[in-house]
Structure 1
Amino acid sequence: MAAAILRFEDSRVTGPYSLRVSRLPAADKGGKWEICGICDGIEPAVFNRLKALLDAGRREEAWEGCLQYVLDNTAAVRSWLGSDAFPATEFMLRDHFFNSGSRNTGKILQRALNVHGAGLVVDGIPGKQTRQMLQTVLAQTGESEFLSTLNERRKSFYHSCKQFPVFGKGWLNRSNEAYRFAQSLV
């Protein structure tokens, strides 16, 4: 999962030997530089540690650090699901979490559950009721159907963002790529 998320962040990175520091677009709010979505403006300590490893030629260690960071940064998603029984849903949520944060991911999850009749308040906080409804909806609809709804809610979220005119095409492509990858896990 983590390796796929890193590839979605930088399609030219396929492993330790293609790992690189990239300049962020001027309109990006993450800072000036990134390593597969790990930005100097958001996570400067992590970014600087990974960059130092790359500069020292310790590429495999830097790659492992990136993978671990993705898993640690998105670990809350597993608690929302309660188990590893739904890897495709876990992947879709982890990918969005890494790309857009906890609150936004909680909102798309709640909106997707509401499409299936959950009746949740969309506050972005996956509390007990959201987690219970997630289990219920997955059991009732099956993972494939829920993934489709989750992908649609994710794309709707991107359309609502102020920066959609600048980054929208890439966001939608990422959403579709993540959806295809998630379908391979069902």
Structure 2
Amino acid sequence: MAAAILRFEDSRVTGPDSLRVSRLPAADKGGKWEICGICNGIEPDVFNRLKALLDAGRREDAWEGCLQYVLDNTAAVRSWLGSDAFPGVEFILRDHFFNSGSRNTGKILQRALNIHGAGLTVDGIVGPKTRQELQDQLAATGEAVFLIALQEKRQAFYRSCKQFPTFGRGWLNRCDDAFSVAQELV
């Protein structure tokens, strides 16, 4: 999962040999530089550690550090699901979490759950009620059906962002790519 998320962040990176520091677009709010979505403006300590590994020629260590960062950074998703029984849903949520944060991921999750009548308050806080509803709906509808709801709400989230005119095409492509990976995991 982590390697696929890193490839979504930088399609030219396929592993340690192609790992590199890239300049962010001026409109990106993450800083000036990134390594597979790990930005110097958001996670400066992690970014600097990974850059130092790359500068020292320790590409394998830098790659492992990127992979571990993705897994650690998105670990809350597994707790939301309560198990590893739904890898497609876990992947979509982890990818969105890494790209857009916990609160925004919680909101798309709650909106997807509300499609099937959950009646949740969309506040982005994945508490006991949201977690129970997620488990209930996955048991009732199945993972493949729920993935469609997540895909719909994730696309709607990106369309609502004020930076959609600048980054929207890439965001929607990422949604489609992540949905394809998630479907393969089901």
TM range (shorter): over 0.9
1:59 maps to what in 2? Answer: 59
In 2, Cα distance between equivalents of 1:159 and 1:169? 10
Residue type at the aligned position of 2:117: G
Structure 1 residue 178: Cα displacement = 0.2
Amino acid at match of 2:43: E
1:162 shift after superposition? 0.3
1:171: which partner in 2? 171
Structure 2 regions of 5+ residues with no counterpart?
A: none
User: Which structure 2 residues correspond to residues 150-165 of structure 1 after superposition, within 5 A?
Assistant: 150-165=150-165
Q: Deviations over 1:26-46 (max 9, x none)?
A: 000000000000000000000
Q: Which residue number in structure 2 is paired with residue 10 of structure 1?
A: 10
1:142 aligns with 2:142: yes
Unaligned runs of 5+ in 1: none
Tell me the SS of whatever aligns to 1:147: helix
How far apart in 1 are the matches of 2:117 and 2:91? Answer: 23
- Alignment partners' CA distance in 2, 1:84 and 1:105: 18
Residue 84 (str. 1) matches residue 84 (str. 2): yes
Counterpart mapping for 1:11-50 below 5 A? 11-50=11-50
Segments of 4+ moved more than 4 angstroms: none
Shift of residue 172 of structure 1?
0.1
- Give the TM-score, by structure 2 length: 1.00
Q: CA-to-partner distance for each residue in 1:132-173, whole Å, 9 max, x for gaps?
A: 000001011100010011001000000000000000000000
**SS of corresponding position for 1:34:** strand
Amino acid at match of 1:103: R
Partner of 2:106: 106
Output the amino acid matched with 2:174.
R
Aligned to 1:72: 72
Give, as a single letter, the amino acid of the residue that structure 2 aligns with 1:55.
D
**Correspondence for 2:122:** 122
For 1:39 and 1:49, locate their aligned partners in 2 and report how far apart those are by CA, in whole Å.
12
Q: Which amino acid aligns with 1:25?
A: P
Distance (whole Å) between structure 2 residues aligned to residue 95 and residue 116 of structure 1: 23
Structure 1 residue identity aligned to 2:72: D
Report deviation, 1:87.
0.5
TM-score normalized by the length of structure 1: 1.00
Query: SS at 1:119's partner residue?
Result: coil
